[in-house]
Amino acid sequence: MSDIKKCGWLMKEGGGWKSWKKRWFVLKGAVIHYAKNEKDHEKGKDQGTINLEDATYIKPTNQRPKKTHCFEIPTPDRIYYISAATAQEMQDWISVCRQGKQQEIDKRNPPTKVEKRNATTTSSSSTTSSSQSEAQSKKERVGIEDFELLTVIGEGSFGKVLRVRKNDDGKIYAMKVLDKNMIIQRNELEHTRSEKSILQQLDCPFLVKLHYTFQTSSKLYFILDYINGGELFFHLQNQKKFDGERVRFYCGEIVLGLKYLHEKGILYRDLKPENVLITSDGHICMTDFGISKEGLKAVDDRTATFCGTPEYLAPEVLEGVEYGKAVDWWSFGTLMYEMLTGLPPFYSQDVQVMYQKIMSAKLVIPDNISQSAAQLLKQLLERDPEKRIQDPKDIMSHPYFESIDWQKLNAKEIIPPYIPQVSSTDSIENIDTTFTTKDVRLDDEGPISNEEQKDFTGFTWQPQNSHLN
């Protein structure tokens, strides 16, 4: 018992953040053990441990208003929320845990003789040395504990997208959270690796920017720009279709985004209204590179994976033959047509019928569409990829874009024809309430095996010279 620094009953929030359980807590060195009762702990039947060396901090919290005398311990895997019976007991636990953490750090990193000698020179130099040492020992790796979860802004089969605030500077970001178990079950490892690799390369005004990636035992996290003007899909649903100038403006910025991707050897493969966001100042921002393909540098480079969203699939994808960057320009033509008319050109509620129409139905262009727009649509929605217009230079010089100053457009110097109604750059007015009313907390699905964890080696990333302040 001599190595036990403190023990007693505390309440701990469950791994899935669903309920609170009374547990027997024991602090040994810098590790907290918790079990159902004292006997279970003595028999080695702990339910879990918390390594305080990995903890960013140990402090009181008001994040759980239904529980009093609550403190939190963020670690790379999760944030632990613990409640004591009294305020004094909470402070006692916080104090002894902090001491245990510091003692273990000091034990592993004893001061050198030079440091000891310098420490006795003057009190001012000692203070400076201590501050520098503390700053250097701060955790430089960004993790889940560095963000406050605010609102759900999207959801899919792999996880959630959250609006979050970074604790140190208050900046708002979008946090895309993917479940490792789901990725493994659906055989999506390569797509996930590719998405991270692609996002790291992007630096374009019309493509979402990646700031950090990190992981816990059960989840992957992408920290991205927060774009709050709403999805193009959201605005199309509300307004049915857009006027000609607005379509031309959006199309111009999308062309620049696709041009940038293709020059990087990246095939987007999922251009659709749901993946085109509108910024608070009215520009477009393309997002979601989960099924994008990198490495297609040469003009004749091809791939053959069947993927994408049915309405926007090019005929060559449906045929099952190898395809190249021309598929993105077919999707672009489909999206342009939809913005002008309200529906994709070959739409049907029956997916198989829609596939048949994409393959063989006549392209019908309404009379109210301008001649130059109709001409470009015919060239984009050409079924033969060899005849389809696909060189960005040819598209940008097309009569449809005659009024566009591409240099000014790329510099965002052209005033957008539509500015979303937002109260601030951080607000959620244009986010679907289907998402924003959902519980922001992340369920813990449980860790994967050590062997499976190896598949995610190297996922954690942040730009050079980036660290916690």
Q: What is the CATH number of domain 144-227+431-456?
A: 3.30.200.20
Side chain identity, residue 324:
G
Q: Say how far residue 277 (Cα) sits from the centre of its chain.
A: 14
Confidence of residue 385 (pLDDT cuts 50, 70, 90): very high
Residues 6+ apart with CB under 8 A from 273: 231, 232, 233, 236, 335, 338
Confidence of residue 67 (pLDDT cuts 50, 70, 90): confident
Question: How do residues 449-469 score in pLDDT, each as one tens digit?
Answer: 888 999 999 899 988 755 444
Give burial (CB, 10 Å; 0-12/13-18/19+) of 183: buried
Spelled out in words, what is the top-level CATH class assigned to the domain 232-410? mainly alpha
Confidence of residue 426 (pLDDT cuts 50, 70, 90): confident
CA nearest neighbour of 275 among 238, 240, 232, 239: 232
Q: How far apart, in whole angstroms, are the C-alpha atoms of residue 292 and residue 269? A: 6
Q: How far apart, in whole angstroms, are the C-alpha atoms of residue 303 and residue 395? A: 23
Domain ranges across the chain: 4-137, 144-227+431-456, 232-410
Stronger pLDDT, 98 or 340, i.e. the higher one: 340
Same fold, 4-137 and 232-410: no
Q: Would the pTM count as exceeding 0.85? A: no
pLDDT at 448 over 90: no
Mean pLDDT confidence for 107-121: 46
CATH 2.30.29.30 fits 4-137, yes or no: yes
Question: How do residues 202-253 score in pLDDT, each as one tens digit?
Answer: 999 999 999 999 999 899 999 999 999 999 998 998 899 999 999 999 999 9
Confidence of residue 110 (pLDDT cuts 50, 70, 90): low
The residues annotated as belonging to the active site are 270
Confidence of residue 112 (pLDDT cuts 50, 70, 90): very low
pLDDT of amino acid 466: 56
Average pLDDT, rounded, for the chain: 87
